[in-house]
Amino acid sequence: MKTIAKILGGLLVAIIALILFFAERDRPVEELIPLYANKDSKFMPIMGMKVHYRDEGVATDTLPLILLHGMSSSLNTWDNVALYLKRYKRVISLDLPGFALTGPSPENNYDFPYYSKFIDSFATRLKIKRFILVGNSMGGAITWNYALHNPSRLAKMVLIDAAGYPKKGESGSLGFKLASTPVINNLLLYVTPKSLVRKSLESIYADQSKVTDEQVERFHDIAIREGNRQVALQIFKGSFHGDYKRIKEIKTPTFVMWGAKDQLISVDNSAEFMKDIKGSTGVIFNVGHVPMEEIPFDVALSIYKFVR
How far is CA 9 from its chain centroid?
38
Q: What is the mean pLDDT of residues 235-261?
A: 91
pLDDT > 90 in the chain, percent: 77
pLDDT of residue 175: 52
Which pLDDT does position 182 carry in this prediction?
58
Report whether 99 contacts 65 (CB < 8 A): no
Cβ atoms 114, 138 nearer than 8 A: no
Exposed, middle or buried: residue 98 (CB in 10 Å: 0-12, 13-18, 19+)?
buried
Q: What average pLDDT does the structure give for the chain? A: 89
Q: For residue 4, what is the enclosing H or E element?
A: helix 2-22
* pLDDT at res. 2: 55
- How far is residue 78 from each of residues 29, 33, 247, 259, measured CA to CA in Å? 21, 18, 25, 16
**206 or 4: which carries more pLDDT confidence?**
206
Kindly give, in sequence order, each residue whose CB lies less than 8 Å from that of residue 128, ignoring residues fewer than 6 positions away: 64, 66
Percentage of the chain surpassing pLDDT 70? 85
pLDDT band at 15 (very low <50, low <70, confident <90, very high): very low
Cα–Cα distance for residue pair 222/224, rounded to 1 Å = 5
Environment class of 257 (CB within 10 Å of its CB; exposed 0-12, middle 13-18, buried 19+): buried
Per the CB < 8 A criterion, the answer to whether 61 and 85 are in contact is no
**Is the per-residue pLDDT at 9 higher than 70?**
no
pLDDT for the residue 12:
41
Q: Is 258 helix (H, G, I), strand (E, B) or coil?
A: strand
Q: What is the pLDDT of residues 264-288, one digit of tens each?
A: 999 999 999 999 999 999 999 999 9
Q: Are 162 and 137 in contact (CB under 8 A)?
A: yes
Tell me: the pLDDT tens digits for 84-140? 999 999 999 999 999 999 999 999 999 999 999 999 999 999 999 999 999 999 999
Please tell me which residue, 153 or 178, carries the higher pLDDT value: 153
How much is the pTM?
0.89
Q: According to the model, what pLDDT value does residue 192 have?
A: 84
Q: Is the dihedral of CA 293, 232, 92, 197 positive or negative?
A: negative
Question: Does 237 score more than 70 pLDDT?
Answer: yes
pLDDT above 50 for 14: no
How many Å apart are CA 210 and CA 172, to the nearest integer?
19
Model confidence pLDDT, tens digit, residues 167-209: 877 766 555 555 556 555 556 666 788 988 999 899 999 999 9
Residue 240 half-sphere exposure toward CB, CA atoms < 13 A: 22
